[in-house]
Amino acid sequence: MITSSIEEYLETLYALEEEKKPASTTEIAKRLEISAPSVTEMLKRLAELGYIQYEPYKEVTLTDKGRQMAKRVTRKHRVLERFLHDILSIRKDKAHKQACEMEHVLTDEVETGICKMLGQPDRCPDGKLIPICDRDVKDCTSCEPAEEDQKSRKKLLLPLCFLRPGQKAVVRFIRGGMMAVKRLNDLGVTAGIQIELKSCAPLGGPVEIAVRGSSLAIGHGLALKIFVEAC
Partner 1 sequence: MTEKRISIALAGNANVGKSIIFNHLTGLHQHIGNWPGKTVERAEGTLRFENYIIDIVDLPGIYSLSTYSLEEIISREYIALEKPDVIINVVDASVLERNLFFTLQLLELESPLVIALNQMDVVAEKGMKIDCGKLERLLDVPVVPCVATKGVGISDLIRKAIEIYERKPRHSPHPPWFGLEVEEKIGKLMATVEQIEMGYPPRWIAIKLLEGDPEVEKLIYACRPAVAEEVKGLCQEIERIHSEPCSSVISSERYNVADRIARDSLRIVVSVKPSWEERLASLTVHQIWGYPIMALTMASVFYGIFRFGSFTSDQLLRVFEEMRLSYFASFGSTMIVMFIWDGLIEGMVAGVTIALPYIVPFYVAMSILESSGYLPRVAFLMDSAMHKIGLHGKAFIPLMLGYGCCVPGCMACKIMETQRERLLASFLATLVPCAARTVVILGLVGAYVGLRWALFLYAFNLIIIFILGRLAFKVLPGEPVGLIMEMPTYKMPSLEVTAKQTWFRLEEFVRIAFPLIIAGNLILVTLRFLNVLPILDQFFSFITVSWLGLPAVTMTPLIFGFLRKELTLVMLAALVGTSNFAAILTKTQMIVYATTIMLYVPCVATIAVLAKEFGYKKALAVTLFEIGFAIMIGGLMLRILELIRI
Which residues contribute to the site for partner 1 (CB under 8 A)?
A: 136-139, 141-142, 178-188, 190-193, 198-206, 208, 212-222
**17 vs 196, which CB is nearer to partner 1?**
196
What is the smallest separation between the CB atom of 188 and partner 1, expressed in angstroms?
Answer: 6
**24 vs 190, which CB is nearer to partner 1?**
190
What is the smallest separation between the CB atom of 202 and partner 1, expressed in angstroms?
Answer: 5
Say if residues 16 and 24 touch (Cβ distance below 8 Å): no
Instruction: Tell me how many degrees the CA angle 45-106-221 measures, rounded to the nearest 5.
Output: 95
What is the smallest separation between the CB atom of 24 and partner 1, expressed in angstroms?
Answer: 32
**145 vs 188, which CB is nearer to partner 1?**
188
Instruction: Tell me how many degrees the CA angle 88-144-75 measures, rounded to the nearest 5.
Output: 50
What is the smallest separation between the CB atom of 161 and partner 1, expressed in angstroms?
Answer: 12
Q: At what angle do helices 108-117 and 64-82 cross, to 10 degrees?
A: 50
**37 vs 204, which CB is nearer to partner 1?**
204
**Among candidate residues 180, 216, 221, 225, the one with its CA nearest the CA of residue 198:** 216
Distance CA 2, CA 116 (A): 26
Say if residues 216 and 187 touch (Cβ distance below 8 Å): yes
Residue 61, burial from CB neighbour count under 10 angstroms (0-12, 13-18, 19+): middle
What is the smallest separation between the CB atom of 72 and partner 1, expressed in angstroms?
Answer: 22
Distance CA 22, CA 34 (A): 18
What is the smallest separation between the CB atom of 195 and partner 1, expressed in angstroms?
Answer: 13
Please name the helix (run of DSSP H) or strand (run of DSSP E) that holds residue 208, with its range, or none.
Answer: strand 207-211
**88 vs 187, which CB is nearer to partner 1?**
187
**137 vs 157, which CB is nearer to partner 1?**
137
